[in-house]
Structure 1
Amino acid sequence: MSDSLSDEIRLAGEIDRLKAEYPKTRELYREVCALLFFRFGVTPTANRLYQLVKRGSMSTPTQVLGEFWVELREKSRVRIEHPDLPAELQAAAGELVATLWTKSTASAQAALETLRNDAEAEKVSARSEVAALQAELARTETALEQRTGALLAAQVRIQELEQAQAAAEATRQALETEIARQQEEIDARDQALMQARADFSGDLDKLRGSAALAEERLRAAEKRALLEIERERVVSARSQKELEAAARRAEQRETRHREEIQALQVQLGDARHQAGVMEGSLAALRDSNAAYVAELNVLRLQPATARTNQATLQKRPQYSAGTPKPRQATPKVVTKKRAAS
């Protein structure tokens, strides 16, 4: 056992020396063949050569080993055919060379078969790796299709939100138009009331001289003024109710849109978790939603402004039954005064 270990150590040292001396791979394999056969009495094989040298491909030691045996046979044949050798020695040498040749050929064939088996195993392993990569590719394609579907769904939802936003914008504009129209009507009524006050004051100054004659007419005018004021109050109350109903409708639309926005934010969160690469599109959607909420806030402030204006109108002083100033009373009183004259 110690001799075998010593031979292995010496062989490793000699191979290291040959590696430093022969940098070319084929020359190194040829020298290792000669070292094994002539120095250590070991029949070299392709597998053994590759284990010792570990350079090049597996076909290199096989080719070098074949060339080594061919060269050895040629050199042996020359020595056998030397005229100084006896015939018995020539025959024995020929048999020895033939035996060595047969054994080396068998070893080379075995080594070649081993190389073929190794190559086949590597081929099978490579096929398994290719199959695994194809399966992984199929899984990746499936995941990509799922993410693409989620992205398309998010885009459809974005389009729906944009349509809803356009509808809300149209509703907001219509509501602003209605509020402006009602405000104009209120302003016109205020102006008419102020004009009626001025007219009534002038007529009252004229009627002071004939108060006794116009007392009954004045009472009738007061009744008509009270009716007119009551009608104005009814109209004002109806306008207030319409404004409140419009405000409630706007709040309901705002609540519904806020719920849709919250649901969309949940969907966008899922899409962001599934496809990080779509964060730019989703950021744009969030900006659009923020603008949409800002517009809804502006829309919510419009009814509040209208209610404030209405409250200001209601706080204006009302005329009692003793001092009526209707818009239509003055012309009637004046007509009767002229008739009395």
Structure 2
Amino acid sequence: MSDVLSPDAALAAEIGRLKAAFPKTRELYREVCALMFFRYGITPTANRLYQLVRRGSMGTPTAVLGEFWADLREKSRVRIDHPDLPADLGAAAGELVATLWSRATASADAALDALRGELEVQRVEAQQSVAAARDELGRTESALEQRTAALLAAQVEIRELEKAQAEGHAQRQALEAELARNRAALAARDRELVEVREGFSRDLAKQREAAERAEERLGASEKRALLEIDRERSTATKLHKELDEATRRAERKDADHRRALEAMQAQLGDARHQAGVLQGRLDAIQAENVRLQTEVTTLREAEAHARETRPSAALATPANVRKTPRPTRPPRAVPGAKPGTRRKKTV
């Protein structure tokens, strides 16, 4: 929308066109006088004429202005020529017509001044409307830029959240794989513990059978000793010593098996504790994954709402907006967890 020219600017533009049309100085001053008085209703003065035209000396606009007023007075005088009309009556009629013309001119000038005042008010109101429209346009453009910047920031944050979600998913898969390996190791240790228990049971049964056989031999020896106490006393003593030694060996083996069983049970407890720690880390990562998915859904809804509310002309992303990557949030550490460590198997 183009600005409405002020009266001074319009007058200066008109005088510029008159300078090009009238190269002679006196003619130019006479045309400027007529322009100011008849079109713009401004009473011309010598100083004002010289300030507007800037040609010749200061005496030139004064002389031209005097000629302009003389011509105007001569043209405004009304002469009534009639052959049968007396001279004094003709002069009075001329004065009357001149007075009427002057009053009509004054009334027209007043109406023109009123019209000019209304036009000036309308011009001021139009300028105010233009200024208000420009302010509203500036606020709209500022709001549009802010919404565009917010949309770009939301898009960058969505990409960062998707990246963090992918990293969390990869970390969750790695933890699940590690948990599967630990479960397989725990199952292998359970099978090994079962085998150790079965071996211990077999050894204990053998020791019991040996003890029973020893007791049977002892009973036979006692029977034979009853028959031959004196002759078999030394044999019975030897058999008692062998029995004591076998019992001590059995007790030592039993103690060894018990210590091995306790060590396996301790390893089993450590494995179960490690599996519980890994399960806790997996639960924390799953909760973080759910939170990230919720944030991504919220940001996508905000982006869709911003696309629906902003004007269609702002759909294109400005090329001068700098995209700043947001730092990736590190994964939350589970208290007490030591990933990558395994307890050595003790026998």
**Under TM normalisation by the shorter chain, which class is it?**
0.3 to 0.5
TM-score (norm 2): 0.43
TM-score after normalising by structure 1? 0.44
Larger Rg: 2
By percentage of residues, which structure has more helix? 1
